[in-house]
Amino acid sequence: MSKSAQFCSVIIKTHNSERYLAKAVASLKSQTRLPDQIIIVDSASKHPEYLKPFQQDPRIKVIVERADIGFCRGNNLGVDYAIKQSDFILFLNPDAFLTPTFIEQALRVMNESANQDVAILTGALLGYDIEADQPTGRFDSTGVFRKWYGQWYDRYQGLATSQIHLQSTEEVPAICGALMFCRTQALKKVLLRDREVFDNTFYMYKEDIDLSLRLKKAGWRLLFDPRLAAYHCRGWNADRAKMPRQYRLYSAKNELRIHMRYPSPCVVYSLAKYLSVRFLNL
């Protein structure tokens, strides 16, 4: 099958995403190789009127949920709609904007004979200031890595792009869920409960790491290619102290669950982190 004949779907899960969504969709419509379908799954936005222009676009499928079903369940609803006809699925955050050649280049990389065992491909996520409507000049993520004691982190996050010179394609331990170009064949091999790409019980946070580890355990590779790039507004506060406790609890609990699923000494760090959030609100 030629690259042009392969079916590529994009899934965007939204929740009060009116500040970003139009720019994200515009970046998809400006691709040198257009996606075959765009699926927006909205999870109880307070003012869903911002979805109307997209509902009127015949190239976009909009699924509206009245309940706040979370990041995982929302993306999985998109997968239910897309998985049968799609060769590739791009999970894209509503506050992430592709550079114009992203899909074309991603298909080229995934179709290389040496990369048939690559489940997820990503590129350089670059910071973007939505208020100034311009790049920050800093990295957001170049893959997700783990420190020796167990903390997962986005490599190079916050560093100036002028400081780091990315040159080679490489395998990475995990990939940020804001930008995941996935081979559908691989996703089908690791579905939970027969239909969940992301674990619905996670609700949000660390679900991208869980998916990455499931794929690696099944023998698939995760690839970072610096020739691919997108911008990300990172729509949460980087200062943990200013994040709502419930969000910090989701993150800590899910990290603990991951380290229990894939046993290692890192579970000690994750347990201490979870207990400090739950009982000390740290």
Do residues 231 and 263 share a domain? no
pLDDT of the residue at 161: 96
Do residues 187 and 275 share a domain? no
Q: Summarize pLDDT for 103-138 with one digit per residue, the tens.
A: 999 999 999 999 999 999 999 999 999 999 999 999
Beta strands in 8-55 (DSSP E): 8-14, 37-43
Q: Residue 239: is its pLDDT beyond 80?
A: no
SS3 category, 196: strand
Band (pLDDT 50/70/90 cuts) for residue 236 is very low
User: Residue 232 and residue 44: Cα distance in Å, rounded?
Assistant: 22
Do residues 100 and 120 share a domain? yes
Of the two residues 5 and 211, the one the predictor is more confident about is: 211
Do residues 143 and 248 share a domain? no
Q: Summarize pLDDT for 169-222 with one digit per residue, the tens.
A: 999 999 999 999 999 999 999 999 989 999 999 999 999 999 999 999 999 999
Do residues 185 and 275 share a domain? no
CATH number at residue 153: 3.90.550.10
In the chain, the N- to C-terminal Cα span, in Å, equals 52
Do residues 228 and 139 share a domain? yes
pLDDT of the residue at 238: 52
Do residues 46 and 105 share a domain? yes
Do residues 78 and 189 share a domain? yes
pLDDT of the residue at 225: 98
User: Residue 229 and residue 250: Cα distance in Å, rounded?
Assistant: 29
Provide CB contacts within 8 A for 93, sequence distance 6+: 12, 13, 24, 177, 178, 179, 232, 235
Structural domain tally of the chain?
2
Q: Summarize pLDDT for 35-48 with one digit per residue, the tens.
A: 999 999 999 999 99
pLDDT of the residue at 167: 86
Query: Where does residue 34 fall: left (phi above 0), alpha (psi -120 to 50 degrees), or beta otherwise?
Result: beta
With beta carbons less than 8 A apart as the criterion, state whether 20 and 95 touch.
yes
Do residues 110 and 246 share a domain? no
What does DSSP assign to residue 117? T
Tell me the pTM: 0.95
Q: Residue 150: is its pLDDT beyond 60?
A: yes
Do residues 144 and 244 share a domain? no
CA angle 251, 256, 257 (to 5 degrees): 100
Band (pLDDT 50/70/90 cuts) for residue 237 is very low
List the domain range (segments joined by +) for residue 96.
3-235
Proportion of the chain above pLDDT 90, given as a percent: 90
